[in-house]
Structure formats: C-alpha cells, structure tokens
C-alpha cells in the first residue's frame, strides 16, 4: 500500500512497502521537471556519471543509490534553495578532485569547497541548470 505525503511547496513524498529491504527506509528516486529534459539529463550524465536508461525508459537516469526521472514542463520551476526541499546531496570520494573537475568543465559553485573540521566534513554547493541546489560532501559516509 502506497502512502503519499504532500509537504509545503507541493513537495510530494511517496512511501512504498518493500519487505526485502535490509534497512528501515531507502531513498529510491527523484523527479526533475524542466523545459529541456534532454539537456538536464545530459548535465547529470556528464558531471555525475549518471547512466543512461534503456530505450524502454527514456525518462530515467541512474546514479549510484538513486534513479532520476525527468519530466518535461513548460511551467518555469522555482529554484529549490530556501524551499521545503532545499537541496539534494551526494557523498563524494576525493571531493577536492571532483570539484576541480566540475570547475574545469565550467560548473559554477554557489559555495566553493570548504573543510568544516567541527563536523568532520568537506562541503561544497552548486546549482544544476534547472535550479536544484546540490550539496556535495566528503566524510559523511564514515559517520
């Protein structure tokens, strides 16, 4: 039985039972809405190594641990920063090298790489072409 929760800013979260999960809760997929879904998908493929979908599911793209679904919309989407779904995040091995590669590819950072010793993390923020704020971390996996 599916359970759906609607949060402020029309953020929809779907919960599905999965008896075979080895953990209590697991993130499965996220939907992105954009005018040019091909360009947005290509951006995630180029910068995050997302895998292109099989032809039968041309709207999906996968990165380790999550599936992205891309849906075309002609309605401009508000940027995520400061909204109920402020950002998505990725834990990255060798974040400094990854940030250097992104910068060399022309990606602009909202907040450049910084070390936060008090919490044992390295953190950087950027925004994708559709306005989704992305947090990159290194060190979270060991917590």
In a domain, 143, yes or no: no
Residues linked to residue 61 through DSSP beta bridges, in sequence order: 68
Do the domain assignments include residue 17? yes
In a domain, 54, yes or no: yes
pLDDT in tens, 37-56: 889 988 998 998 887 666 55
Q: What domain range includes position 17?
A: 3-138
CA-wise closest residue to 41 among 111, 140, 130, 137: 130
Please give the backbone phi and psi of residue 55, each rounded to the nearest 5 degrees, phi first: -55, -30
Q: Does residue 47 lie in a domain region?
A: yes
Structural domain contains residue 79: yes
> Could you tell me the pLDDT band of residue 5, with boundaries at 50, 70 and 90?
confident
Q: Pairing between strand 11-15 and 109-116?
A: unpaired
Q: What is the DSSP letter of 51?
A: B
User: Nearest to residue 140, comparing CAs of 89, 101, 97, 99?
Assistant: 89
Question: 15 in a domain, yes or no?
Answer: yes
Helices (H), 1-143: 37-48, 95-104
The structural domain count of the chain equals 1
Which of 30-44, 96-110, 121-135 comes out lowest in average pLDDT? 30-44
Answering whether pTM is above 0.85, one says no
- CATH number, domain containing residue 126: 3.10.180.10
115 is a domain residue: yes
């Amino acid at each position: 039985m599916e359970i759906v929760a609607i949060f402020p800013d029309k953020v929809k979260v779907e919960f599905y039972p999965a008896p075979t999960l080895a953990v209590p809760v697991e993130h499965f997929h996220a939907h992105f809405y954009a005018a040019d879904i091909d360009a947005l998908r290509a951006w995630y493929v180029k910068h995050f190594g997302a895998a292109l979908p099989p032809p039968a599911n041309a709207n999906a793209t996968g990165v380790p641990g999550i599936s992205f679904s891309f849906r075309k919309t002609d309605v401009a989407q508000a940027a995520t920063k400061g909204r109920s779904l402020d950002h998505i995040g990725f834990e990255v091995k060798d974040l400094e090298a990854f940030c250097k590669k992104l910068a060399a590819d022309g990606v602009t950072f909202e907040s450049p790489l910084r070390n936060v010793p008090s919490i044992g993390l390295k953190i950087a923020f950027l925004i994708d072409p559709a306005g989704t704020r992305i947090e990159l971390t290194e060190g979270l996996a060991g917590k």
